[in-house]
Amino acid sequence: MKPSRVYITQNPMRRDFNNGELVYKYDLTAAREYGELDIILQSGPVLISPDIAIKQLRAKLRNFQPNDWLVCLGDPVVIAAASAIIAEVNGGVVPVLVWDRMIRKYLSVVIDIHPSRAEAVA
């Protein structure tokens, strides 16, 4: 199995008031604990061309592995599409990292969209 990757839907940008340059809004360094960081799409809304964004998401996420993670930032359409694609390629499982600002670290949450056999029988 390949080393883990942390897929980030988008990292929104903000203007640095000191020098006027655009910089990432969030410092994602703590997510490196879970694997190599990979920002999937550029920052910004995709409402104008969701088809293009979905093609880009599919291309980036086609090799998603069970030991990879998703960090959900940015446009809700991008987050929803990325989650759906990951569920599709990963057997209905979406491993997500969630920032806990109280302890200042990412926590892992695994979403499984398929009920277990025990729940299906009951």
pLDDT tens digits, residue range 65-92?
999 999 999 989 899 999 999 999 999 9
pLDDT digits 0-9 by tens, 5-35: 999 999 877 888 889 888 788 889 999 999 9
**Domain limits at 10?**
5-121
CA–CA gap between residue 113 and residue 83 (Å, rounded):
11
Predicted structure pTM score: 0.85
Select the more confidently predicted residue: 26 or 94.
94
- Confidence at 1, pLDDT banded by 50, 70, 90: low
How many structural domains does the chain have? 1
